[in-house]
Structure 1
Amino acid sequence: MEKRILCFGDSNTWGFDAQSGDRFPRTLRWTGRLQAALGEDVVVIEEGLNGRTAVCEDPLKEGLKGLDYFMPCLQSHKPLDLVIIMLGTNDCKARFSLNEEHMALSILRLAMKSKNSAAGPKGSDPAVLLVTPPPILPGYESTPTLMTLGAGAREKTLNLPARLEPYARMNGFSFLESGKTVAMGKADNMHLDEKGHADMARTMEEAVREILGLTKGGKTLE
């Protein structure tokens, strides 16, 4: 029986290429690479949205609050064996006035909606993997990225894993600090480049196989 994985995230799940301003091809995006690695018995569902936050309404653009769309998304794509949530880069923007604790609680609030959702196989609840994105790169303050993020963004993304992990474990969710193996690209300091997508795919594959008990199969990531 096939396994279904929902990848719920922002532009780094959508595949924004900061160098070109376009979208990376599916074969280069971490979600597409993950699909290739896991094989035909697994369905990897992309649900990335540029600018998405966990719970904040963005005053500059509508429709970016993940909380409003998360439950309909679960119900639309069920049955789901695993839901991967990777958010936090947009939540650190100065205009939202969130600190690391607020960011962690926001992501947790989103994840908690998976409980009693009956979005898993045979009316069960799906497993959840909470992933913190790689930190914003140092020196972003001297680049145009400062106009997007505001001050203090790097520190928030550096400190988020320590805040979110205890909440994840406490509520029965798996946790992954992607910044241990993956780095943002240098084009704008806040988006994955091609190497970052390849590294993210490898990191995600290892975690997904462990959570779902999958043996090695399908194509090997290059």
Structure 2
Amino acid sequence: MSKAIVCLGDSNTWGYDPRGFGGGRWPDCVRWTARLNARPEWIIYNLGENGRAIPHTPFELRTLCGQLAALRPFDGLCVMLGSNDLLLGVPPAAAAARMERLLVCLSSLGVPFLLIAPPCFHPGDWVREEALLAASAHLAGYYRILAGESGAAFADAGCWDIPLCFDGVHFTAEGHARFAAQAGGAFAAAFCGAK
């Protein structure tokens, strides 16, 4: 039986394609969420949003809870956020503190959830400072600890060798394909008990 999974994320979950003027969206055949949705074991709700940082204020958390309530029932929740926080100058430790507040809120939903650390940035048009590259490399360590403390499953997409576009942030078409392949295994472990 198919499992309904909500994917909460930013532009890489939404499927942003930065190549066109003003950007665009990769078609279903490219986006990692749509690739997983095409598999019989998954029903994927894409709750990706361009520019989304980690919801952490009371208003943001209430708004998100409303979005999630509109999608119920579902069997699990995948969260991949933090890249925009870093791009806005939030240090990795502070981004992790935001994520901790979000995970506390999500734990009340009573469904399993998977925390994915985003792929590390690469040098590019949006990533010109060494400090930003270092920040993106450190985020996964914080998230691993948070997942262990909250009972969430964890995956580090920084280990998945995801190709990024010229901006150093967004997935290429091949990046979406590789991400979907790796995420499929992480989803099975998190939501179906596969090891």
User: TM (normalized to structure 1)?
Assistant: 0.78
Aligned partner of 2:90: which letter? Answer: L
Query: CA–CA distance in 2 between the matches of 1:199 and 1:107?
Result: 25
| 1:214 Cα deviation after fit | 7.3
| 1:54/1:67 contact within 8 Å kept | no
| 1:197 Cα deviation after fit | 0.4
1:49–1:116 distance in 2 versus 1, CA, 3 Å: same
For residues 108-187 of structure 1, the aligned pairs below 5 Å read 108-117=100-109, 125-138=110-123, 140=124, 143=125, 145-146=126-127, 152-187=131-166
Query: CA–CA distance in 2 between the matches of 1:56 and 1:169?
Result: 20
Percentage of matched positions with identical amino acids: 28
Query: CA–CA distance in 2 between the matches of 1:68 and 1:87?
Result: 17
Query: CA–CA distance in 1 between the matches of 2:51 and 2:32?
Result: 18
| 1:116 Cα deviation after fit | 2.3
| 1:172 Cα deviation after fit | 0.4
Instruction: Tell me the equivalent position of 1:99.
Output: 91
Q: How many residues align?
A: 191
Instruction: Tell me the equivalent position of 1:33.
Output: 35
1:198–1:210 distance in 2 versus 1, CA, 3 Å: same
Query: CA–CA distance in 2 between the matches of 1:56 and 1:128?
Result: 18
User: TM (normalized to structure 2)?
Assistant: 0.89
Q: Do structure 1's residue 49 and structure 2's residue 41 form an aligned pair? A: no
| 1:85 Cα deviation after fit | 0.5
Query: CA–CA distance in 2 between the matches of 1:206 and 1:91?
Result: 27
CA RMSD across the alignment: 2.2
**SS in structure 1 opposite 2:107?**
coil
Q: Do structure 1's residue 82 and structure 2's residue 84 form an aligned pair? A: no
Unaligned runs of 5+ in 1: 58-64, 118-124, 216-222
Q: Do structure 1's residue 19 and structure 2's residue 4 form an aligned pair? A: no
Query: CA–CA distance in 1 between the matches of 2:14 and 2:60?
Result: 14
Instruction: Tell me the equivalent position of 1:121.
Output: none
| 1:137/1:184 contact within 8 Å kept | no
Unaligned runs of 5+ in 2: none
| 1:208 Cα deviation after fit | 0.9
Q: Which has the larger radius of gyration?
A: 1
